[in-house]
Structure 1
Amino acid sequence: MNSATWGFRLPRTRRTVAVAVSTAGIGILIASALFGATRSAAPASVRLDVAVAVAALAAVPLVMVRPVPGGILASLLVALSPVATPAVSFAVLFTAQHRPFRRALTVALAGTAGAAVQGMWRPVRGLPYGWWLLLMTAAFGALLGWGTWARARHALVEALRDRARRAEQEQELRVAEARAAERNRIAREMHDVLAHRLSLLAAAAGAMEYRPDAPPERLSAAAGVIRTSAHQALNELREVVAVLRNDDPDAPADEPPGQNLADLPRLVSEARAAGQSVEVDDSIAPPVEIPPLAGRTAYRIVQEGLTNARKHADGQPVTLALSGAPGAGLRIAVRNPAPPGAAPDRDAGSGLIGLAERAALAGGRVTHRVGDDGHFHLDAWLPWSA
């Protein structure tokens, strides 16, 4: 323990019980020493021993609250009578357990000095003074070493417990961070999937609303797009929500199927079926050679570009250009006329922010701007290892 008062480390009830039990135990030892010292002593010595015994017993609670002053008092008492030996021994041990070594050494030296004085005027029969002093010194030294070892062991155990608590807290923090990252990933997935599908629904429904006189086959095709997009949106939403049911944050999350560069033709076909004019300039062949991470990220970038075009420039043509090669990287460019009044440096929405994060995780980058030509430019570069 540190230099704080020992008594304040325990609740009041436990502190009272500890003092009472210790006082009772030392009292029994003092009574035994008093009985041995008064069997053949003179009446004056008996009265002195009784007085010292009472004072030594009263010093025990003081030792537990203030070990050093209590130990010095017990050392003075042991100089007067051997009945105080249990009290001073307890003081040395207790101080070594609960105070720094220097303070405990002071109490041990005081107790040795008191025993030396006692041996001078009340020698032990049959034991030379030198041997008596050596035995008392060894006894107090043993108590000092025992208490110091107990204090060091207690400090080590507390340090290990504190380290274990910190390790547990750090583990909980890592788990919380992993779960937060997973929730952010799921939020991006839900945005990408639902925004794309709902924009297709809106485009098809808008075509049916504004062209009720369209040929029946056109209306039937638009209704088919609505039905197909709604069905696929539900399926993809189920796949994303399934990730939420995975309680293990360290488990790898499966990407929903149909999310790589090889599926771009299907994505473009869905957009065209919803009435969106999409022109594709693809100079990459074959696309299956692109690494999976880059392919999935590229798919999401194109999907978000088409979705933004439907949301902000509905009915306007979109140009999609793909280029690149192993070692040079994969470049994606999406162009569409900007809506009237669009600022060249307008803030990015949550979808574009998510794309920037996706590209950064894949080692790439995404930029967007409204050019001088009045078109919105979405450009991306992704690494493509050779």
Structure 2
Amino acid sequence: MQYAAIVKGLGHLLLWSGPKIEPEDITTAIRTEFCPSEAGKTSTLNMLTGAVLPSAGSAFLGGFDVVQEQRKVRRLLGFCPQHDALLDRLTVREHLELFGRIKGIPNHAIKELCDQMMQDLSLSPHVDKLAMTLSGGNKRKLSLAIALMASPPLVFLDEPSTGVDPAARRLMWHVISAVSTMRRESTVILTTHNMEEAEALCSRVGIMVGGRLRCFGSNQRLKARFGQGYQLEARLCAATLGECESFVREMMLPDRLDATAVAEQCTAAGKPDRAALICQGCEEGYVVYDSLSREGSISALHFAEWWLFEDSALKLNQYLAQHFPGTVALERPDSVGDCWSKKSGVQGIGVRSFLSRFFWNSGMKSRHES
């Protein structure tokens, strides 16, 4: 399988005087015929284009490392930035001719290509106007035309239709679709706030929240999974050291427990089924499984922390089952403290109020999305 873009654990850390969300651990791969999609989108594109160096992770565009092989990467790219980077004293035609020559278009072909691009984007009436005199919509169209010049293998479009009137937006969509889908000349990676735009242009859509790529898939898959009911994300706090020590004393645990002792403690605590969670591939008990696999045993305090967290997760599931019948778990990430659930057609108290009540009574903190 050939991929136009591969991103692994990409992240960027900034020293900032106020709140600032940056991309965190983004991992994905984009096939050459697919094009995916306010938290960290522009920063991610800046790292992929080499404008900003990532603090961690790696990314490959067309097989080239974006840090080690920037010159080769940039030869593959067409880029429409979020804010127009135009030269005020150049006309529309001069912009296209300049960037066409930079991209290596032969002199005998450049005039015809520029004329075709201006015709496609309805820029022909403005051919001799200076960039500084263009309207906001025409500036966006010119930026798009520059990005698409010479049909680069990979095109990044950072909110290309922002501030454009509906008619011009539809025109831009048609041009982008022709390049990426009809003629299959370029792989287009697009960022947008407009879900209609994402649905119209993209075969694959990624949604970023808080600097993280939270979901990635086709439009239909995302609609089927997230398009109904409430989506609830709950993060449970780990038990305190005092709570863990109290549990160890109450259960009279030794300093360390091997696999046999863990199974015996689960049975002694009246929950023998919990021992079945401690296996490879089971997220609920992976923390214990990993320690037993690497060290042959787990400390009593770590076992207590895991046990008390599972008790908290069980309380959450029981609360959801009682107050929101039909709720189902979507996923349980590896990181301790994360749980996901979904409910279609929720009736009664809202997600916000039930979270506050549940976590308040349990002495926990929470964060939620609906």
Larger radius of gyration: 1
Higher relative contact order (CA 8 A, sep 6+): 2
More helix by share: 1
Please say whether Structure 1 and Structure 2 have the same fold, judged by a TM-score greater than 0.5.
no
- TM-score (normalised: structure 1): 0.19
More strand by share: 2
- TM-score (normalised: structure 2): 0.20
